[in-house]
Structure 1
Amino acid sequence: MVSSLYTSSSLRIGGLASGIDTDSIIKELMKAQRIPLDRLNQDRQILLWQQEDYRAIYDSLRSFRDKVFNMKLQATYLAKKASSSNEAAVTATANPTATPGTYTVTVNKLATGVSKVSQIKLNDETKDGTILTLAEQFGITGTISFALEGSKGKKGTDYFNFDTTKDTIYDVVKKINDADLGITASYDSNLNRFILATTSTGTTAIIKVTEDSSYFLSGDKDLKDPTQKNGNNYLKLLLKGDGTADTGQDAEFNLSIGDATVQNYTSPTNTPTVAGITLTLKQGGGTSATITVSNDTDAVFNAIKDFVNAYNELIDKINKKLTEPRYRDYLPLTDEQREQLSDEQEKKWEEKARSGLLRGDSLLESVVSRMRATMSAIVPGLAAGCDALADVGITTLSYEERGKLYIDEAKLKDALQKDPDGVMNLFTKSAEKYAEKGIAMRLYDDVNSAMDLISDRAGTSSSYSTADNSAIGRQIAAVNERISIMEERLQQLEDRYWRQFTAMEQAIQQMNAQSAWLAMQLGMGQGR
């Protein structure tokens, strides 16, 4: 009889004998029992949100650290700029190592590679929309083979074989390109011309035909002379067939600095770097340009300005978390509560429930305090008037702004013009002791320390470890374990309720059966 009333936790039927809504009664009983479990789930959700907030700040610190790292480098403050008097001939960019001054560049030759194009139109490539085979296009029979040597590739030389009855000119193109010899092949179907070119320039860029028994690529006479004795030279490329290479050409130029001139500089490319200046050579034949190199104070100013803006964004983000209002009456929603709200109501509730989870957080307060102290610190050992950020126009205003920095642009530009080395040392001074380091050097240490503290507290989203050993991670694991134990206990309790109600139903059913039997017996007795 029990099996007809209660089979398992997945199939429960109650109230058949008593008429009682057993399911509703047990749900109400369990609702009260689940209150501690709901609270545990809410606690876990709050921990997860806190962890997300910490990790978001960690990611912001990591991005900011990259900017601080650049501010540690002297190269940031040694930026140079270059201008050309004849940009049609030469343009230039200056590296931090370039010496300010005036340079004259005379370009004798430009660097070139090797480029060979079919000298005349080849046979039509297609016939009735079908790509022709090599045999159809060139009237060749059998197999053709050749070997090419280029300026790169593991083998240096590669051998190519083609079945003229199956392969097409596009197979030739593909195999040459796949060989990775520093040589590219292409076929222009509109012009019916084959093109072979090196991928680089200079005398090391070569195309050498080492074998070509069919004279598919090369020949030893003028291709326009149909009487040449060494073959048809089917592609009409004017490539040498005697085992010597067609080579590119190095760039050649003169560079004058003051009264000194260095003749015949050579470069395999048209972008050589000389004396910290990267030139782009555009015209040869003796064309000249005057290159002027000077300190790029605008670039340094912009780098400092970007750094200050990034610092303000970071400080503002942390301060907002520290001062965000906390709505303690708004706890994370339970599944039952979520079902009773619209999507918009749920969103607004969650915004308040998440708000203020890091309000007044001591760890973040210490991070902000340390960075603010660094930005207002004096760097010992530097000349007075350039040993603090305030000296170069970078200051805070109201205390209520919690460390936000402002730049007096005119004062900063004036400092960069008058004492660029002093500004550089203010940021980049190196020392063994933290208190003697430059501003950027200290701040880099501050950011690393802050990242370590947050990682210990909440872990990082970029961690490759599957185990979260952070403080919050361990708390979440402990809550998960408690949730698991409580869910198991509640399941057992619910099963017990069902067993009890099922026993009651069984008893009532038995009583109903006995009553029916007695009624039947009494009825039968009265009938006699």
Structure 2
Amino acid sequence: MSSNLRIGGLASGMDIDTIVADLMKAQRLRVDKIKQTRQIAEWQRDDYRDINNALRSLRDNVFNMKLQGNYLVKKASSSNESIAKAAATSSAVVGNYTLKVTSLAGTAKLNSSEDVTFNKDATNLKNQLSLTSAGIIKFKVNGSKEIEIDVDNETIDSLISKINTAKMSDDKTSAGVTAFFDKTINRMFVFSNSTGADKKIDFDAVAGFETQIDELFTKLKLDKNGIPGDGFDWGSEVTGTNAEFVFNGMTVTTQTTNQFSLAGINFTLTGTSTTETVNINVTNDTDTVFNSIKTFIDLYNTTIDKINSKLSEERYRDYLPLTDEQREKLSDDQEEKWEEKAKSGLLKNDFLLSGAVSKMRTTMSSVVSGVSNSKYDTLAEIGIKTLDYSEKGKLYIDETKLKEALAADPKAVMELFTNSSDTYSNKGLAVRLYDDLTNTMNTITDKAGSASSYSLVDNSILGKKISGLDEEIDKWEDRLIEIEDRYWRQFTAMETALNKMNSQSAWLAQQFGGGK
């Protein structure tokens, strides 16, 4: 704690405040050097972590390049998409298929056969539809719990809502129908929520309400598949339809929906034709695989360029981190330019990073012995190679050669990247590179820690160094307070002594003067 008793240069006439401040500047130089060392360590840590983030992005991409499914991509084309659309999965077999669609899957439908006499100004269902019945009407749909409608106090909207929200006896399962009353054309539409012959619309009156229900649906002019009901026997079901088609000359096949998978092909039926046969052609999707490889190579180049730029970045050793005092003397622009040079080259010729790049380059130029076709056991043989040593490992793609390789032997290209083996020489390039990147990232994390770590303690090499420098700075700050106090005690003692001497001199002078 600093001393409160500080006496300026009243007796000596000296500017003690300035003298102490200048003395402390010399002492603070030691702390400033520690702070500069700490700042450099922090900048280095940030640079390492930035590199690790770039490596992580590349590794995420390389992980996908390890997966065989990304190379087994197929595509399917349809000769008439107004009848059927097709999309191939990786399990589809390359070849030609035929499809003749005779009917589409459809919902069960129950619609008004003509415009309903409807009073839009009325305030209840009875008056809206001119019903003779009054009071409560009860019915069920598809065996649901009872639906109750009060025609004297509820409206057509209430009826529609209760049909749409009808539940089965478990109070969870929907009755599976949707109703709608169009007040523009005054017609009611009811349809099942799903397609297929097993879907239905089945309205049943609750015992005792048969006459009221018959009148209600007669007023709504509902037809079963467009055919007027006879007495409206609502125990008769209205059902949906299945899709029916002939696939590759097979017997008619049925599906409950118009979207289904068959032989590894996802079909969407959009129309029917009794005369036209749709041709479905399944081929290897070399364009998608090509684009995946190109994206990977582009990201690889971006990553090694980033690392190489750090390794060759100029180091300006005369530009140390600014002290607080130096910062106050500079404009914002000057400060920014100074720090730009002070941060430059902190990873120049870094052994860890140069080793990582060297390993990546070796991996990408190596032979994969385990491929089924030795004609494609290196990147160069599929059109990917370096051009100039000065570019430090940057890869270039011969697009024509790569596409030719993908067309000629897609399996071998896949193996070049994805082969899994206990033997290094048989491992695919993506498998090797993934391991390389993981090892490098772990080493960098040991050196600089991870910004995404949930731990409040950074036990990395640089983290411990920064923590140690923080402790040293704290100790020096305490010591500087003690040194400043010591200077003030010394000057205060000097001032006190001078003041006492001056007082004694004045007394002696007075005594000698008084003797005259």
Counterparts of 1:318-333 in structure 2, within 5 Å, are: 318-333=307-322
The answer to whether the aligner puts 1:272 opposite 2:265 as a matched pair is: no
Q: Quote how far apart the aligned CAs of 1:410 are.
A: 1.7
The answer to whether the aligner puts 1:351 opposite 2:340 as a matched pair is: yes
Coordinate RMSD, CA, aligned: 5.0
Q: Quote how far apart the aligned CAs of 1:194 are.
A: 9.7
Match of 2:96 in 1: 102
Q: In the alignment, is the contact (CA less than 8 A) between 2:188 and 2:220 conserved in 1?
A: no
Aligned counterparts of 2:409 and 2:360: Cα–Cα separation in 1: 26
After superposition, the Cα gap between the structure-2 partners of 1:520 and 1:380, relative to the gap in structure 1 and judged at 3 Å, is: same
Aligned counterparts of 2:493 and 2:108: Cα–Cα separation in 1: 97
Identity across the alignment (%): 45
- Structure 1 stretch displaced more, 73-82 or 357-366: 73-82
Aligned counterparts of 1:157 and 1:338: Cα–Cα separation in 2: 80
Aligned counterparts of 1:405 and 1:276: Cα–Cα separation in 2: 36
**1:106 maps to amino acid:** K
Q: In the alignment, is the contact (CA less than 8 A) between 2:181 and 2:187 conserved in 1?
A: yes
Aligned counterparts of 1:344 and 1:438: Cα–Cα separation in 2: 50
Aligned counterparts of 1:32 and 1:133: Cα–Cα separation in 2: 95
**SS in structure 2 opposite 1:280?**
strand
The answer to whether the aligner puts 1:255 opposite 2:247 as a matched pair is: yes
Match of 1:497 in 2: 487
Match of 2:8 in 1: 15
Q: Quote how far apart the aligned CAs of 1:413 are.
A: 1.7
Aligned counterparts of 2:10 and 2:363: Cα–Cα separation in 1: 79
Aligned counterparts of 1:30 and 1:143: Cα–Cα separation in 2: 97
Aligned counterparts of 2:490 and 2:183: Cα–Cα separation in 1: 90
- Structure 1 stretch displaced more, 354-363 or 29-38: 29-38
Counterparts of 1:311-322 in structure 2, within 5 Å, are: 311-322=300-311
The answer for unaligned runs of 5 or more in structure 1 is 1-7, 151-155, 229-239
Q: In the alignment, is the contact (CA less than 8 A) between 1:324 and 1:359 conserved in 2?
A: yes
Q: Quote how far apart the aligned CAs of 1:491 are.
A: 2.2
Q: Quote how far apart the aligned CAs of 1:388 are.
A: 1.3
Q: Deviations over 1:463-508 (max 9, x none)?
A: 2222211111111111111111111211222333344445555566
**2:487 maps to amino acid:** Y
Q: Deviations over 1:428-464 (max 9, x none)?
A: 2221022321211111111111111111111222222
The answer to whether the aligner puts 1:341 opposite 2:330 as a matched pair is: yes
Q: Deviations over 1:212-252 (max 9, x none)?
A: 99x9xx94555352899xxxxxxxxxxx9979998765544
Q: In the alignment, is the contact (CA less than 8 A) between 1:252 and 1:267 conserved in 2?
A: no
After superposition, the Cα gap between the structure-2 partners of 1:35 and 1:193, relative to the gap in structure 1 and judged at 3 Å, is: farther
Aligned counterparts of 2:322 and 2:29: Cα–Cα separation in 1: 12
Q: Quote how far apart the aligned CAs of 1:323 are.
A: 0.7
Q: Quote how far apart the aligned CAs of 1:328 are.
A: 0.8
Q: In the alignment, is the contact (CA less than 8 A) between 1:37 and 1:486 conserved in 2?
A: yes
After superposition, the Cα gap between the structure-2 partners of 1:225 and 1:242, relative to the gap in structure 1 and judged at 3 Å, is: closer
Aligned counterparts of 1:144 and 1:495: Cα–Cα separation in 2: 98
Q: Quote how far apart the aligned CAs of 1:289 are.
A: 2.6
Q: Deviations over 1:390-412 (max 9, x none)?
A: 11111112111111111122222
Match of 1:41 in 2: 35
Q: Deviations over 1:147-186 (max 9, x none)?
A: 9999xxxxx9899999x9999979x979969x99677989
The answer to whether the aligner puts 1:426 opposite 2:419 as a matched pair is: no
After superposition, the Cα gap between the structure-2 partners of 1:435 and 1:245, relative to the gap in structure 1 and judged at 3 Å, is: farther
Aligned counterparts of 2:398 and 2:187: Cα–Cα separation in 1: 64
Q: 1:414 aligns with which of 399, 404, 413?
A: 404
**SS in structure 1 opposite 2:250?**
strand
Aligned counterparts of 2:473 and 2:124: Cα–Cα separation in 1: 73
Match of 1:461 in 2: 451
**SS in structure 2 opposite 1:351?**
helix
The answer to whether the aligner puts 1:54 opposite 2:62 as a matched pair is: no
**SS in structure 1 opposite 2:283?**
strand
Count matched residues. 488
Q: In the alignment, is the contact (CA less than 8 A) between 1:185 and 1:194 conserved in 2?
A: no
**2:48 maps to amino acid:** Y
Q: In the alignment, is the contact (CA less than 8 A) between 1:34 and 1:490 conserved in 2?
A: yes
**SS in structure 2 opposite 1:92?**
strand
Q: In the alignment, is the contact (CA less than 8 A) between 1:206 and 1:245 conserved in 2?
A: yes
Q: In the alignment, is the contact (CA less than 8 A) between 1:202 and 1:249 conserved in 2?
A: yes
**SS in structure 1 opposite 2:252?**
strand
**SS in structure 2 opposite 1:403?**
coil
Q: Deviations over 1:77-123 (max 9, x none)?
A: 22211111111222221112111111223334444557899986987
**SS in structure 1 opposite 2:81?**
coil
TM-score, with length taken from structure 1:
0.75
Q: In the alignment, is the contact (CA less than 8 A) between 2:109 and 2:239 conserved in 1?
A: no
**SS in structure 1 opposite 2:375?**
coil
The answer to whether the aligner puts 1:292 opposite 2:286 as a matched pair is: no
**SS in structure 2 opposite 1:359?**
coil
**SS in structure 1 opposite 2:217?**
coil
The answer to whether the aligner puts 1:364 opposite 2:353 as a matched pair is: yes
After superposition, the Cα gap between the structure-2 partners of 1:124 and 1:481, relative to the gap in structure 1 and judged at 3 Å, is: farther
After superposition, the Cα gap between the structure-2 partners of 1:115 and 1:263, relative to the gap in structure 1 and judged at 3 Å, is: closer
Match of 1:28 in 2: 22
The answer to whether the aligner puts 1:91 opposite 2:81 as a matched pair is: no
**1:442 maps to amino acid:** R
Match of 1:400 in 2: 390
Match of 2:65 in 1: 71
- Structure 1 stretch displaced more, 478-487 or 378-387: 378-387
**1:404 maps to amino acid:** K
**1:440 maps to amino acid:** A
After superposition, the Cα gap between the structure-2 partners of 1:197 and 1:51, relative to the gap in structure 1 and judged at 3 Å, is: farther
Q: In the alignment, is the contact (CA less than 8 A) between 2:136 and 2:148 conserved in 1?
A: no
Match of 2:296 in 1: 307
Aligned counterparts of 1:113 and 1:363: Cα–Cα separation in 2: 66
Match of 2:229 in 1: none
Match of 2:362 in 1: 373
Q: Quote how far apart the aligned CAs of 1:28 are.
A: 2.0
- Structure 1 stretch displaced more, 24-33 or 472-481: 24-33
**1:351 maps to amino acid:** E
TM-score, with length taken from structure 2:
0.77
